[in-house]
Amino acid sequence: MKGKYALVHTIANIANKILPIRVEVYLRRGIPGFQVVGLPSRNIRESKDRIRAAIESSGYEYPFQNITINLSPSSKKKDGSQFDLTIAVGILIASQQLDLSEYENLFLIGELALNGDILPVSNISELITFQLPTESTLLIPKINYHEMKALGKSSNLIGIDKLSEINNKKEIEDNSKSKIYFIESEFPTENNFSTINNSIKNDTLYLYDGQRLAFEAMVYALMGHHHILITGIPGSGKTMMAEIANIIQSKPNPFEWNEIYNIHQQFQAMNPNFPYRPYRIPHHSITANGLLGGGSKLQLGEISLAHKGILVLDEFGEIKSSILQNLREPMESGIIKLHRNSQWAEFPSRFQLIALSNLCPCGNFNSGKSQCICKKDQIRTYLSKISGPILERFDIIAELHKSLVINSNNIVSEMKISLSNIQEKIQNVRLIQWERFKDKKIHSNSEIPSSQIFEYLNWDNADIDKYNKQFKYLEFSFREKLKVLRLARTIADSKIKEKVTEDDLIIAIGLREGSKTIKFLAA
């Protein structure tokens, strides 16, 4: 590959297909210039100055010749800054400053900084799904390399930091092993999934009597990835409960984390909880496109960015009714299907919803202290948005009370809780589910299909008959009954029991009692 001509390869996403791209570089005498052909995007055409600066900063000479770059197949439009490294290496080979003939099939992916650093690529996990030809090697940014190594996808990959490190095969492979960007034990694998690595700074939590039951309900929700609606007057601690949920939520299992990682890498979305479950809390004035996804380019919404994590919707009753009703399908199926301007896309959205709401517009209904100033029609209109079909999608409806119980010494009655202990219990229950569903397409009790629910409850025909008699007098729909049974499975898991008993079922039914209040007030 010496002389005026060089051929190198890269990989790109073209029309939602991962394809190999031939990058041909030709140098000839004449007026210095830089042309890229083969339907490049504006981003690729603008890379000329970036590539020149990177080459000179790395100690090489930029050839003052007429440079032609051909991206093949020429009939398909290319986009992205990951072509930088491939073009730069092609120029250096063509100008005889590099000899990489030791590599039979060399592929390169990476964006260049002006100082020659090789920057990570956002959709690397998607690009490396391409099946490389035999005896091929793929050079990628070292940060991406360690991410892929942690996921067990580092075969035929070499990580590099700088353009100046690309000298010969031996130096490239030596440099790839020199610097570690991540402690790989932080990434969930089958070996370390059962352990919790993140420490809780403020471990002790004090709960008032009016908060205890709601907290226990939220813990059950986190154990089984169940949707929960928490109601209460202003100042009762609804937002605090959601913040605590983020602190004590479980570590994702390897398959879940892989899905989380792919979403946030592919769509260049930041996950502040990296490498743990995402936690999203958008403002209640969010638009339908912002929450569900959409727009002219079909961007992800908050429900997809919260996939396998927590989505908190505060002031649930203030969100537009049309948006709330559109949540019903993804809450149930874990998928959002979008159609915009003849475009179609399907995004994962297996989020856990923690919805927070008052029981009336002023928030003082049933407060016991402040007087509610809302009229009956206002309360009915307010709650009608969160009753009916959307209410059935919640596994748990809990209520917070601001009232404080004073003991004989005039001291507020409170309960002391260790968040580390609670987090460990949640992780242990999720580990039980990880083992139970290891070879299945589901990862939590909240996803158990209705056709298999009795099997996972370990019930025989006598148990099923007894269950039917108990539910005969409860005004629950089929969906609500299924929610109760899934929740009962989680409660039994928290007690490390194989079979769901009547006590577990009674607790699960009690955790849905709050729906009666909302239905009554909205009627």
Model pTM? 0.73
Which pLDDT does position 189 carry in this prediction?
Answer: 55
Instruction: Return the SS3 of 322.
Output: helix
Separation of alpha carbons 521 and 279, rounded Å = 31
In this prediction, residue 180 carries a pLDDT of 44
Angle at 369 between CA 366 and CA 371, to 5 degrees: 70
pLDDT reported for residue 199: 57
**HSE-CB for 13 with a 13 A CA cutoff:** 15
Which stretches of the chain score pLDDT less than 70?
A: 1-3, 150-154, 168-171, 173-201, 265-275, 342, 368, 402-413, 523
pLDDT of residue 287: 93
Distance, in Å, from the CA atom of 198 to the CA atom of 111, rounded to the nearest integer, reads 32
Task: Fold for 5-182, please state it.
Answer: Ribosomal Protein S5; domain 2 (3.30.230)
Distance separating alpha carbons of residues 385 and 518, to the nearest angstrom: 10
- Please answer whether residues 107 and 73 qualify as being in contact, where contact means their C-beta atoms are separated by less than 8 angstroms: no
Domain ranges, ordered by start, for the chain: 5-182, 204-424, 440-514
Q: Residue 336: enclosing H or E segment and its boundaries? A: strand 335-340
Nearest in space to 133 (alpha carbons), one of 104, 102, 99, 173: 104
Q: What's the pLDDT score for residue 1?
A: 41
pLDDT at residue 519 in the model:
78
Cα–Cα dist 430/452, whole Å: 19
Confidence (pLDDT) at 124? 80
293-294 and 299-300: which strand pairing? antiparallel
User: Is the CATH number 3.40.50.300 carried by domain 204-424?
Assistant: yes
CB atoms within 10 A of CB 394: 26
Q: Which pLDDT belongs to residue 181?
A: 43
Residues with Cβ within 8 Å of residue 518, at least 6 apart in sequence: 231, 359, 383, 386, 387, 391, 397
Q: What is the longest distance spanned by two Cα atoms in the chain?
A: 96
